[in-house]
Amino acid sequence: MIAHGSTFGRRLRALRLAKGLRQAELARLVGRHQTAIGPYERDEYAPPPEIVERLARALDTSAEYLLFGRHPRRSAIPLVGRIGPGGLAEPADLGTLAVRDDQLLAWRVEDETMLPAYRPGQVALVLAAAEPRLEELLGQDVLAELADGRRLLRRLLPAARPEVFDLAAWNAPTLAAASVVAAYRVVGAMAAAGFVASGAA
């Protein structure tokens, strides 16, 4: 949980003190025993996701900030190196890549259609805005929106006719000559462990 030289517990304590709350008061606000906050602040153990959400609401912050130290509206992903010729990874401090939370959407993968690229239990990260020119996405993984309203995670390929596309999968038949009305670029995948269910109370 360490981020920016801090920990979940240190961030929790700093926010609690900034609000002028005692540990017992914060515990009462989130429905925990009055002694629960101390171990969280000492990083002895992490609270369950629903308690992290309650703590974030009580302290006017986000679960993302408490867990990772990232601003709720702007995340910074460290650029730690480059992939050079032949795919060789070369470490380098290249700064950070700012990603606003309104630029990405997460879709939980629950089947094996796109194995090995996307595994069940992962989250596919998809750009929130559709690519205006579908041709720019040829050969790439996309969330394709079809004329019939379905959305499919597939690889966008050219078809026999220019007004349609083939949608390929690793472990399912290719959907040939599909009428794609919009396509959203898939930018990566990650384990779903860091995601907290919405509405947890």
Span 67-82, average pLDDT: 64
Angstrom distance (rounded) from CA 62 to CA 52: 9
Span 154-162, average pLDDT: 94
Q: What percent of the chain has pLDDT over 70?
A: 80
5-14, 25-34, 65-74, 141-150: least confidently modelled range:
65-74
Q: What domains are there in the chain, each with its CATH number?
A: 8-70 (1.10.260.40), 75-101 (no CATH), 104-193 (2.10.109.10)
Q: For residue 188, what are the contacts with CB-CB under 8 A and spacing of at least 6?
A: 124, 125
Angstrom distance (rounded) from CA 200 to CA 60: 16
Average pLDDT, the chain: 82
122-142 pLDDT tens trace: 888 888 889 999 999 999 999
Angstrom distance (rounded) from CA 113 to CA 155: 11
CA distances from 114 to 118, 140, 164 (A): 5, 13, 21
Angstrom distance (rounded) from CA 89 to CA 85: 9
Angstrom distance (rounded) from CA 137 to CA 108: 22
Span 7-27, average pLDDT: 91
Span 42-66, average pLDDT: 88
Question: Can you give the pLDDT at residue 127?
Answer: 84
Span 55-72, average pLDDT: 81
pLDDT band at 3 (very low <50, low <70, confident <90, very high): very low
pLDDT higher than 50, residue 4: no
Q: For residue 122, what are the contacts with CB-CB under 8 A and spacing of at least 6?
A: 108, 109, 189, 190, 191, 192
79-115 pLDDT tens trace: 667 766 766 767 777 665 555 556 778 888 888 888 8
24, containing H or E segment: helix 23-29
